[in-house]
Structure 1
Amino acid sequence: MSPATIFTVQLVLGYVPWLLVLGTYVLPGLKSMEPWQVQRAIAVLHSFRFFGLVFILPGVVGPGLPADFAPSAAYGDFITGGLAMIALLTVRMRPLFWLFVVAFNVVGTVDLLINYYHGVQLGLPERAGELVAAYWIPILYVPALMITHILAFYMLARPWSKTGQATTGELTS
Structure 2
Amino acid sequence: MSMLEIFGTQLILSLVVFALIARWGLSPWLNRQDGYVALFWLAVPHAFRHLGLVFLVPGVVAPSLPGYFSGAAAYGDLAAGLLAIVSLVALKQRWALALPIVWALNIVGVVDLANALRQAEVIPHFQSAWYIPTFVVPALLVTHAMMLVRLVKMPLAARAAT
Contact 2:50/2:81 (CA < 8 Å) preserved in 1? yes
What is the aligned partner in structure 2 of residue 124 from structure 1?
A: 122
5+ residue gaps, structure 1, are none
TM-score (norm 2): 0.91
SS at structure 1 position matched to 2:67: coil
SS at structure 2 position matched to 1:95: coil
Larger Rg: 1
What is the aligned partner in structure 2 of residue 94 from structure 1?
A: 95
Contact 1:87/1:96 (CA < 8 Å) preserved in 2? no
Q: What do you get for the CA RMSD once the two structures are aligned?
A: 1.9
Contact 1:47/1:84 (CA < 8 Å) preserved in 2? yes
Q: Distance in 2 between matches of 1:99 and 1:15?
A: 27
What is the aligned partner in structure 2 of residue 141 from structure 1?
A: 136
What is the aligned partner in structure 1 of residue 51 from structure 2?
A: 51
SS at structure 1 position matched to 2:141: helix
Larger CA deviation: 53-62 vs 94-103: 94-103
TM-score (norm 1): 0.85
What is the aligned partner in structure 1 of residue 75 from structure 2?
A: 75
Q: Distance in 1 between matches of 2:150 and 2:113?
A: 19
Q: Distance in 2 between matches of 1:108 and 1:15?
A: 16
Q: May I ask how many residue pairs the two structures share in their alignment? A: 160
SS at structure 2 position matched to 1:69: helix
1:41-61 CA-partner distances (Å, limit 9, x unpaired): 112110000000000111111
SS at structure 1 position matched to 2:96: helix
Report how far residue 159 of structure 1 moved. 4.1
Specify the code of the residue in structure 1 equivalent to 2:56. Answer: I
Identity of aligned residues (%): 36
5+ residue gaps, structure 2, are none
What is the aligned partner in structure 2 of residue 42 from structure 1?
A: 42
Q: Distance in 1 between matches of 2:28 and 2:21?
A: 11
1:98 to 1:115, Cα distance in 2 relative to 1, 3 A: same
Report how far residue 161 of structure 1 moved. 9.3
1:23-55 CA-partner distances (Å, limit 9, x unpaired): 110011011111111111112110000000000
Larger CA deviation: 92-101 vs 15-24: 92-101
